[in-house]
Chain A
Amino acid sequence: MASTACFVIVGRNDCPIYESEVGTAPKKDEATHLHQFILHAALDIVQDVVWTTNGMFLKVVDKYNELLVSVYVTAGHTRLMLLHDSRNEDGIRNFFQEVHELYIKLLLNPLYVPGSRITSPFFDTRVRALARKYL
């Protein structure tokens, strides 16, 4: 079954610093925009939900039709947002944790300015690999 998934990392100033379509469903241009619109809109909810829990993984915070938005917030208020249509919470949790680790490794790179767009192809490859593994 083809799954749809869109993964976006949103920096603390609400700018996307990484975005990728990690789903297996065939890509449609307008759909990717819709996915990002949904994720953008979900930021409002995340902003409220994030203060209600101690965990970093906020689980599904928002949905639009059958698309669900799962969010993981790092300590630095960077939001890892995943739009998905499968209800595989454990896989998503693992995915987020691994990506978080990757992100921390990226932050340790002295040449990476926090909050700027992630352009590392290595990061991209790894994220896609993780998506294949867990989602």
Chain B
Amino acid sequence: MEPEASIESARMIRVAVVAVGNIPSAQLRDYVALVLRHRVVSLECARLFYKEHQKSPFAQQSWDTGSLCFKFLVGGAPRSPWEDFQANRKCLGVIGLMHCPTTPDIGAAYDHFMAICRAYPSAQEKRCFALYPTDGQVELDEKKRQHLVMFPPDRQMLEYHLQTLMQDFAASLLMAFESWVLHAEPVGAILTTPLDSQASLNSEEVSKAKKRRLGRVQKTIGDYCLLAGSPVDANAHYSTAIDLARLTGDLLWHAGAIEGSVSALVVDRGGLKDPQLEEEVRYRYLEVIQLYHRKTALSFELEATLKLARFLCRKELAGQVVELLMGAVEGSKTLMDASDRLVLNVEVARIFGALGYERKAAFYARQVAQLYQQQDSCWAAMSALQVLTLTAKSYRIQSKAAFSARTNTLMELLHEKDEPSRDSRGQYSSLEVGADGQWSTLQMDILGDMLAAAVRAGDPLSAWSAAARLVRGHYPLITPSAQFGLATALVTAAERLPPGTRCSDPALPFVRLHSYPRLPPELEVVKRFPGKKEWWVGASSVGPFIYTPFTSKGNESENSAEVIWVVGEPVQVLVDLSNPCAFEVYVESICLSVESGEIEAFPVSVVLPPNTSQVLSLSGLPLSVGSLVVRGCIVQCFGVVTEHLFEEAGELVSGVAISDPFRSVGGPRVSQSVAAVVEVMPPLPLLVAEVVGGEGAVVLYEGEIREMHIRLANAGVVPVLEATMTLTGKHKEHVLSLGHDILTAALPLFPGASVVVPVKLKAGQPTTEVEVVGSKGAGVNNVKPAKDPACPMLVIYYAGPPMETRDMKTKAVISPSLPPGRRLALPLQLHVLRGLYLQQARLLSMEVPAQISRYLPDPGACKSEATSPTSTLVKIDPYRGSWGLLLLELELWNATDVLFEITVTVNKGKESVDEELADDGMVNDSLYPSTRIDQNHSARVLIPLERFKLPGLEKAFLARSLAKKYGLTKHDSKARESSERQAKSELNATIEELSSRISVKWHSGRNSAGELPIKDAIREALQASAIEILLPDPLTFGFRLARDCRPSYGDKVKLSEDAVDEQPKSEDSEHVTVTNQGNNDSIVAQELTPIEMLVRNNTREAVTMSLSVTCRDVTGASCLGSSGAKATVLWAGALNGVDVEVPALGEVVHGFALCFLVPGQYTLLGAAVINDPDESLGPNSNLQYPESEPEPLYYSGPPYTVNVTGIS
């Protein structure tokens, strides 16, 4: 049986092409390709070399359109026993190819060629082409070598020369055919076939044989006519032959003649097919098949069937073709010759393939492979492997290398995915799904066959590839022992491969992208939003709402998808590795593989025990700027380097039988966009921060103030051009100030440079040990919660210079773009310990009566005394009394193991503080000697507070508001409320101010100092009795000795507008220091002493009142004898019921005289009874003086002490 037999093959002139002499295979291939171009030589061209020696037997030859067809048998072919039967089976020509440079002895080579030609006795024409001869060889050329043709050594002309020679060759063959035909008829060629019986012929049979011979000659002439390109002539001869053969019952030749006539018919049509022709061909071929069948020439029968099937091979006639082919296959069972069976299966597979029945073709190809494998030879195994490789596509188990034609790089796919075209995506996914999980039984079978064939053929790479595909694609269906066998096959195949061999088919392990871990916070890249000062803050969300859950969610996902790497900085990718098989997988090296970018990947090796998977961190170093895709890993496993693309979820699940190899990882796959594009940025600066002299955490006591130094060094290769410090996190109040100026001044910070930035800390509340859940910052660049969220974070945003991004291909500057910045987050690990506990704070009131003297005390004098360093202790002015003196007692408990020294300062008003600071900074600090508190001891610190009356203006305002409130618009409740509120707020403001003025500073050890945060405690303490302290009395009383001016002892009331306004002024001086200066003004007993009482009205209303004076001795009993007791003090003037009217903010002086009979200490008390409470301060007193006399209309002043000395 002939391979590739077709109806047209009857016109093919068979020519053997053989290599002569020593010829390199590459050259041979090249020359053969040149020769094979001339399969068809038109008669028109051949005519140029054609010489008509005699009248041509091919009368109907069409010189214009006809052609000669060659069938080149490269390497020659064995002689067929059937060559008499069909002339196209004869080798009618021989072409030798000689490569002269490697064949020095042309003579010997020519002899070799002639020897080869002897094997082809039917060859009519011989040519030996000597290519690229040397000059010497040309000279040595002998004319006697008639078949030798030397080519000029010119590559350009070679093709042309070859064409000419082939035309000449065709013409020579044509002439040879003519002569054969002319000689055949008269001479009577002996034409036999193996089927002819060799038995001796009797006479009857001899005559029959004669007729037969005629028919056979006619048929053979027809064959030659057909070969000579004259189908019309051939048809005529065939018709004769058919008649003769039918007559003689020569079935085989009858069939052959019909076949030839059909061929002539088809050739005559010039390849055009129409249904009529097809019908005729089919009809006549069925007759041919029938005849062959009758003659039991099975191979011819099958060949004819195949020829017909091939001729009819059209989609529309698929049914007929399938029927023919199935018949042929069924018939082939009785074929004896193995190679015939092989050819038949090959042909059936080919025809099915041509019909578009891929699976059918694959099936018969597999049959071919099995037939090959039955032959016990290496070549057959190789052929089997090749055939199986062809079937692989139909069974969807192609090697990945075969896919390379469809080079949809992942990058392109990604772009494709971006487009909304659903079709392409669907196609892609179906392809991917189809790539695995088809009919796995068949796939396993084919792969197993491939493995066996490859092992037998000695092709270790194919064996490795097949085993890899088998184990990777079908491990769930393979028993553990078979899996071990595959592993052994992989290892043995790898042993025969050179080290470092690459294979396109990955084996184990399965690799899946786990995630891109975030860069460590100090390396994290912060996107810059140009045109904003705070460039790290993302674009504000659109919409009227400050927070919408949707936008923030969207940002989140966007964040996770975006991965930014920096050139030259190591990166990490987490991958899942899985070995679902029963044997241990030793991965010799695994490293990242990227697309469209450069990365220096660092390989690692890992051992995967059976049925395990693990997450592996692979690192690399990006080398070029641009975008890249991490598409998989380069794995060296079982001795072969393969690239494992990251598994797609769908790829694994699609196969019904294939289960997820990652199931032991647990949980569903991390939802991540597959192989996100990674942006690689140009180098960025890198700041490294360290606390100077710091060991990490800073331990502070509550209220401590300390300066901390942070050294920032640029460890990158790019200068830092801008940097901004901010504070985030909890307990920001601990940080007083940041050295913004110093940092700004240090810019640009070149690589290697460093700057020390001071940070001033002030410890606030003690940090609690409880972990507080860190809150996430809003915006695009989320601040990662620090390890210890209780710490404030010093966040430095910095960026390098703008970079010119260059186009990858053109290297041209596109545009200066803004590279991203970075964030350096330095948690200031502050631990604030509780230093001193404030146990309690309370106000202690003190009543020290003032001494009466000639003058009212001069506030200026007091102040000067107060500021003198010798008299820093609290002293009480005996002439002023300390009715208003209050002591703030702070009880402090030292729970720590260090000493504390406490200093109390009370700042004056703002102006005075400034003033004093300007004068002498120590004044405030060391006004009082410090108090020392040992560990585990408590101490009480007394802070003297004089009446912190409101300043004058405020007081006036308050008075006015009070007056308004209670005098004028008391019925208007609304106004009253509002003014009350006003008053309240003013009060609060005053308390606030006051509490802020008191500060308790502490020292401990050498270098820790701070301030106790007791503001709140003071405020609380003050709040309780705020009004008492702060509000001025409506009336103030004062006494003085009226020595100089002798008033008339009556109820003479003198309005003294210009009287010294002592009270408000004295309030200004907080440090009441009263000296014992009254000694020189002592009052002598038994002497009438004139005394003046000053009554001041602090309200804005004129008040009419009745004044009275009481005098008490040391025991507190009245000395004036009012209660019927014996009076020890005599008096002159009115002491009771002095009715006066004091104008608003005015003052009256009431004079009287006292005569103390007994020396000693007396107390003078002024009192007033307001006559018309309705119009004045009645409600006011109710409201604000609950502790005064029960009678709301009664006021008494502070007690004044009178020291009466004896006469002596």
Contacts and interface: CB of A to CB of B under 8 A. Distances in A.
B439 A36 contact: yes
Contact of B445 (A16, A33, A64, A117): A33
Nearest to A35: B441
Interface string B410-454: 000000000000000000001001100111011001000000000
B322 A37 contact: no
A44 B434 CA distance: 17
B657 A63 contact: no
A19 B440 CA distance: 12
Contacts of B442: 33, 36-37, 40
A16 B329 CA distance: 26
Interface stretch (B302-310, B356-364, B685-693): B356-364
Contacts of A33: 441-442, 445
Contacts of B445: 33, 37
Interface in A23-49: 32-33, 36-38, 40-45, 48
Interface string A1-13: 0000000000001
Nearest to A29: B445
B656 A48 contact: no
B438 A44 contact: no
A117 B357 contact: no
Nearest to B653: A116
Interface string B346-364: 0000001000111110110
A63 B318 CA distance: 15
Contacts of A17: 656
**Central interface residue in B318, B326, B439, by most chain A CB within 10 Å:** B439
B333 interface: yes
A36 B441 contact: yes
A14 interface: yes
Given A14-B438, A36-B441, A65 B330 contact: yes
B359 A116 contact: no
Contact of B363 (A13, A37, A65): A37
A77 to B, nearest CB: 15
A108 interface: no
Interface in A78-118: 116-117
Given A63-B326, A65-B330, A43 B656 contact: no
A63 B327 CA distance: 10
B512 interface: no
B541 to A, nearest CB: 41
Contacts of A36: 439, 441-442
A65 B359 contact: no
Contacts of A63: 326, 330
A15 B357 contact: no
Interface string A51-65: 000000000001111
Interface in B353-378: 356-360, 362-363, 366
Given A16-B439, A36-B442, A65-B333, A41 B657 contact: no
Nearest to B430: A13
Given A14-B438, A19-B441, A45 B357 contact: yes
B392 to A, nearest CB: 14
Contacts of B430: 13
A40 B882 CA distance: 115
Given A15-B439, A37-B445, A64-B329, A45 B363 contact: no
Interface size on A, as a range, is 20 to 34
A117 B438 contact: no
Main secondary structure of the interface of B (DSSP, over half): helix
B433 A13 contact: yes
B365 to A, nearest CB: 10
B330 A15 contact: no
A19 B657 CA distance: 12
Contact of B359 (A15, A16, A43): A43
Contacts of A15: 437-439, 656
A71 to B, nearest CB: 14
A63 to B, nearest CB: 6
Contacts of B433: 13
Contacts of B352: 44
Contacts of A43: 359
**Central interface residue in B330, B333, B433, B656, by most chain A CB within 10 Å:** B656
Contact of B360 (A32, A44, A65): A44
A41 B359 contact: yes
B345 to A, nearest CB: 12
Contacts of B318: 48
**Central interface residue in A38, A44, A45, by most chain B CB within 10 Å:** A44
**Central interface residue in A13, A15, A43, A65, by most chain B CB within 10 Å:** A15
A14 B654 CA distance: 13
B330 A44 contact: no
Interface in B287-303: none
Contacts of B434: 13
Nearest to B356: A44
A40 B359 contact: yes
A13 B430 CA distance: 9
A21 B433 CA distance: 27
B441 A116 contact: no
A63 B430 CA distance: 30
B474 to A, nearest CB: 13
Contact of B366 (A32, A37, A116): A37
B439 A41 contact: no
B333 A41 contact: no
Nearest to B441: A36
A117 B125 CA distance: 65
Contacts of B360: 41, 44-45
A117 B477 CA distance: 14
A57 B356 CA distance: 24
**Central interface residue in A40, A42, A43, A63, by most chain B CB within 10 Å:** A40
A48 B356 CA distance: 11
A80 B433 CA distance: 22
Nearest to B367: A37
A48 to B, nearest CB: 6
Nearest to A39: B439
A112 B431 CA distance: 24
Nearest to A36: B441
A115 to B, nearest CB: 9
A13 B330 CA distance: 30
Contacts of A19: 441
B479 to A, nearest CB: 13
Contacts of A38: 363
Nearest to B655: A15
A63 B329 CA distance: 10
B1176 to A, nearest CB: 93
**Central interface residue in B318, B322, B366, B430, by most chain A CB within 10 Å:** B322
B1086 to A, nearest CB: 122
Contact of B657 (A42, A48, A117): A117
Contacts of B363: 37-38, 40-41
B326 A44 contact: no
A29 to B, nearest CB: 10
A135 B288 CA distance: 40
A19 to B, nearest CB: 7
Contacts of A64: 326, 329
A64 B327 CA distance: 9
B432 to A, nearest CB: 12
A73 to B, nearest CB: 16
Contacts of A45: 322, 357, 360
Nearest to B364: A41
For the complex of A and B, the 8 pairs showing the least CB-CB separation, nearest first, are A41-B363, A117-B656, A44-B357, A44-B359, A41-B360, A33-B445, A41-B359, A44-B360
Given A40-B359, A44-B358, 15 more contacts: A15-B437, A17-B656, A32-B441, A36-B441, A36-B442, A37-B366, A37-B445, A42-B359, A44-B356, A45-B357, A48-B318, A48-B319, A65-B329, A116-B656, A117-B656
9 contacts: A13-B430, A19-B441, A37-B442, A37-B445, A40-B359, A41-B357, A43-B359, A45-B357, A64-B329
Interface of A: 13-17, 19, 32-33, 36-38, 40-45, 48, 62-65, 116-117
